[in-house]
Amino acid sequence: MQDVLVLENVNKKYPSFALKDVSFRVKPGEIMGFIGRNGAGKTTTLKSIMNLVHDDSGKIYAFDKDMSENELENKQRIGFALSELNYYPNKTIRQLVNVTKKFYKNFDEKKFLEVCKLFNLNLDKKLEELSSGMKVKYSVAIALSHKAELLILDEPTSGLDPVSRDEILDIFREIVKSGERAILFSTHITSDLDKCATNITYIHDGSIIYTGTKKDFINSYLFVKDKSKNKSLENEYIASKELDDHIEGLISADKKDIFIKNKIEPKEPDLEQIMVYLERSKNNESFTL
């Protein structure tokens, strides 16, 4: 199956931050969740893909074509939205789409109107009057209307209430259902990925520390809650913290038997637990009150 997106050793250096050999790929039918702490490099990477940031080195391919050499052609096949729409806030959706459609040779206005009706988008509302959820829906409606095969979205569910987030995630699952489209979206809301992601790419301090299936990522770790507070096991954790009545933390899956022998039953972690404790480990965080 042809990759819709490939990044190979992408580097970009700033005075206080750098992307370092960022590499991953996205296939049709996948929902790739792009996770990491704020400032880890998620938005910079997405901007690099769209050539809004010029890389120092590395290669980016969309639909098997070099992005820098085929930018206009590739962008016809990509739907892209940053975390907040803030251009022409006083224009209505109807006015905005009359301009936007001129940039896409395959724009289907009938399809756009159908999607807006499905999403309950009022065409005569100004952009500044739209809720965060409606702005996401507007971006998705534009992408679907020019037959985008890859959607790249930066924090699309940030700021949404739980009902709106669930609705957007349902839309994402429907978009990739045919196996012809893919979605890459950055987020710090890991519960969204628990619900809809097929794959995970994890960036830490500008470097990719994991890219692959969500299932394999989760299966690499176990979560431990030790009510006995067994201090002899403290070096077996990737990272842990001591609470009033127990010690809890993350371990590698291959450490399971060590804890079972000590009458502690590790559990499957969720993505938030994995991310919290990996970050805690990698930053050697400790707190003194």
DSSP codes of every residue in 140-167: HHHHHHTT-SEEEEESTTTT--HHHHHH
CATH of the domain at 57: 3.40.50.300
Q: Which domain holds residue 125?
A: 5-214
Q: Are residues 145 and 71 in the same domain?
A: yes
Q: In whole angstroms, give the CA distance from residue 144 to residue 170.
A: 15
List the 239-242 sheet strands across, edge first.
221-226, 247-252, 239-242
Q: What are φ and ψ of residue 63, in 5° steps? A: 55, 40
Per-residue model confidence (pLDDT) at position 261: 96
Could you tell me the pLDDT band of residue 288, with boundaries at 50, 70 and 90? very low
In a domain, 288, yes or no: no
- The model's pLDDT over 110-153, given as tens digits with 9 standing for 90+, comes to 989 988 888 889 999 998 898 877 888 888 888 888 889 999 99
Same domain, yes or no: 199 and 233: no
Q: Check pLDDT > 60 for residue 284.
A: no
What's the rounded mean pLDDT across residues 55-77?
95
The SS3 call for residue 225 is strand
Number of domains in the chain: 2
Q: Does the pLDDT at position 273 exceed 60?
A: yes
Same domain, 228 and 206: no
Domain boundary at 172, 187, 214, which? 214
Phi, psi of 34 (to 5 degrees): -105, 110
* Residue 242 shares a structural domain with residue 157: no
Q: Is residue 237 part of a domain?
A: yes
Residues 52 and 149 in one domain: yes
* Same domain for 232 and 204: no
Residue 165, domain member (yes or no): yes
